[in-house]
Structures are given as structure tokens and as C-alpha cells.
């Protein structure tokens, strides 16, 4: 495991350069800006989001072969696009928290910005290197997508369609994670170290000089 680093050490301008201070209030604009970039990260995100959407509306899905009617369509659509995604929020954030712990970070904070409509798990003033950040950013998408896919195959009847819809809805919930990785991508494979200051409600990103 890489040597732990402190926020104070990141102030050494001969070794680290601050490349972004991101206020939590600015996150929605940040997400839109970096998901519109053309790189491997955004290609992966949009490809899978589109695939999950097409999977949910494909005519071979059992839901569409039996003409369920408006009431059932609305009901199971509500399950898939609203109810199940809401229930997945603590699971999604819990996976982030688990991967913070696996990276050796313990000062974990859970929060939400209702005005900007997002939830977050972060580690107060606990720097995380690029490799660990990439893992904790992608983990909820990978694990929950796999679980929903299996559930859609296993559950009977109309509920399977709900899980296909949730597969798409959860992918959109991962937009912030992919936007962060898109931001990283513009620096190639260079080392980036980040930490959050929960009191300031801001995230700091430092580039390691010479990496």
C-alpha cells in the first residue's frame, strides 16, 4: 500500500500542484461539463447507459409481450424508476464507504445536498490516491449493475421489467462518479491525489509533479 499522505504535505508546491478546488454547490455543473468530454470514461458511461435503456424497452422483454395495461405499466415503472433507485441510495453510498475503508481511510462522512439533489460519502481531510479513488468510484456501478442484471433474470413476471428499468436508472445515478473519472482522464495516467474538507464543503485535487 502506498505511503499515506496528509493535507499539510500537499501544500508543498515543489511536489504537488492544486489543479481544482470544487465546491459541493458547483458539482452539478461539473458533472455536466465532464460528462460531455470525449474520452474513454465518458464513452463507457454513455454506452452502458444507452445499452441498459435499450434493454429495458426492448420488445423481447416479457413485460411487453402480454400487454400489461396502463395501470401496471405505471406501477412497475414507478418501482423501477423511483422506488428501487431510492432504496439503492444507501447501498450505493455504503459501497463507496466500504472502499474508503479498504483504502485505509476511516474518517468517513455521509451527507446530502437536497438543493443540488445529490448524496455523497467522503472522507474528511483524508487524501486518496488515484488508484484507490478509481476503485471506489467504479465499485457501486459494477456491483449494483451486476446484482440488478441477475435479479432481472431471476425474478418472475412484471417485476423483472422493473429491475431492467432500475439498471438504467442506477447508471444515471453514477453520473457524478464517471464525471470525476473523466476529469482525471484529462491528465492521462499522472498521479492525482484528492481529499474533501467537509466543513468547507469542497473537494481538493492535487497533481503530483513529476508523475
Quote the mean pLDDT of the chain.
90
Indicate the range of 5-9, 109-113, 121-125 predicted with least confidence. 109-113
Tell me the average pLDDT across 112-132. Answer: 83
Q: What is the pLDDT of residue 112?
A: 72
Read off the pLDDT band of 117 (50, 70, 90). low
CB atoms within 10 A of CB 164: 24
Using one digit for the tens of pLDDT, what is the confidence trace for 58-84? 765 666 666 677 888 899 999 999 999
Residue 7: closest CA among 102, 137, 121, 105 = 105
Cell numbers given for 9: 504535505
Alpha helices in 103-197, H assignment, sequence order: 130-154, 159-173, 175-185
Residue 192 vs residue 106, higher pLDDT: 192
| The model's pTM | 0.90
How many percent of the chain have pLDDT more than 70? Answer: 92
The secondary element (H helix, E strand) that includes residue 72 is helix 70-78
Q: What is the pLDDT of residue 210?
A: 78
Residue 42 vs residue 122, higher pLDDT: 42
Q: What is the pLDDT of residue 1?
A: 44
Amino acid at each position: 500500500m502506498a505511503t499515506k499522505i496528509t493535507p499539510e504535505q500537499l501544500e508543498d508546491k515543489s511536489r504537488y500542484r492544486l489543479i481544482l478546488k470544487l465546491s459541493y454547490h458547483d458539482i452539478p455543473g461539473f458533472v455536466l461539463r465532464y460528462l460531455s468530454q470525449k474520452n474513454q470514461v465518458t464513452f463507457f458511461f454513455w454506452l452502458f447507459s444507452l445499452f441498459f435503456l435499450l434493454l429495458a424497452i426492448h420488445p423481447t422483454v416479457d413485460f411487453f409481450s402480454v400487454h400489461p395495461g396502463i395501470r401496471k405499466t405505471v406501477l412497475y415503472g414507478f418501482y423501477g424508476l423511483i422506488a428501487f433507485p431510492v432504496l439503492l441510495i444507501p447501498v450505493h453510498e455504503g459501497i463507496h464507504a466500504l472502499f474508503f475503508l479498504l483504502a485505509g481511510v476511516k474518517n468517513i462522512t455521509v451527507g446530502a445536498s437536497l438543493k443540488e439533489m445529490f448524496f455523497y460519502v467522503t472522507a474528511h481531510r483524508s487524501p486518496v490516491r488515484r488508484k484507490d479513488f478509481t476503485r471506489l468510484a467504479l465499485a457501486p456501478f459494477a456491483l449494483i449493475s451486476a446484482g440488478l442484471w441477475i435479479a432481472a433474470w431471476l425474478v418472475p413476471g412484471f417485476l423483472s421489467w422493473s429491475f431492467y428499468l432500475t439498471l438504467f436508472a442506477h447508471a444515471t445515478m453514477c453520473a457524478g462518479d464517471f464525471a470525476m473519472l473523466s476529469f482525471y482522464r484529462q491528465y492521462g495516467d499522472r498521479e492525482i491525489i484528492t481529499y474533501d474538507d467537509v466543513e468547507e464543503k469542497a473537494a481538493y485535487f492535487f497533481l503530483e509533479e513529476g508523475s
